[in-house]
Amino acid sequence: MPVYMVMEARVRNQTKYTRYVEGLSSILTDYGGRYLVRGGRTIPLNEGLKPERRQPGLFIILEFPSEVSLRRCLTSNEYREIWPLCHEGAETRAFLLEGEIP
């Protein structure tokens, strides 16, 4: 069953964050991952609700063939080497989303 890594990033240091994204791009295919979304415009759809006090950041959605593949990617030596660039370059929130269809 496919799983998805959904990440919101608020970039603080564009140079470091760009290096992280470039490094991640070269690692993904080794673990069966691929980008579905990387950045782009975010448009709120919930009219009538109070908007959040802050604008959403950039969103990244990655697809992996399984949770095992995703976790192997995130615990790989290659990913551990680039992780500091992400941490120093952006404030992030990431989630694993299972691809179930009822």
Q: Percent of the chain having pLDDT more than 70?
A: 87
- Residue 48 pLDDT: 58
- Residue 95 pLDDT: 94
- Rg, the chain, Cα only: 15
| Domain ranges within the chain, ordered by starting residue | 1-33+67-89
Beta bridge partners of 92: 9
Residue 26 or residue 19, greater confidence: 19
Within the chain, strands assigned E span 3-11, 34-38, 58-64, 90-98
Whether the model clears a pTM of 0.75, i.e. scores above it, the answer is yes
How many CA atoms lie less than 13 Å away from 96 in the CB half-sphere? Answer: 14
Residue of 79, 90, 77 whose CA lies nearest to 16 = 90
Q: Percent of the chain having pLDDT more than 90?
A: 72
Sequence-distant (6+) residues with CB within 8 A of 66 are: 1, 2, 3, 32
pLDDT level of residue 7 (50, 70, 90 thresholds): very high
Average predicted confidence (pLDDT) for the chain? 88
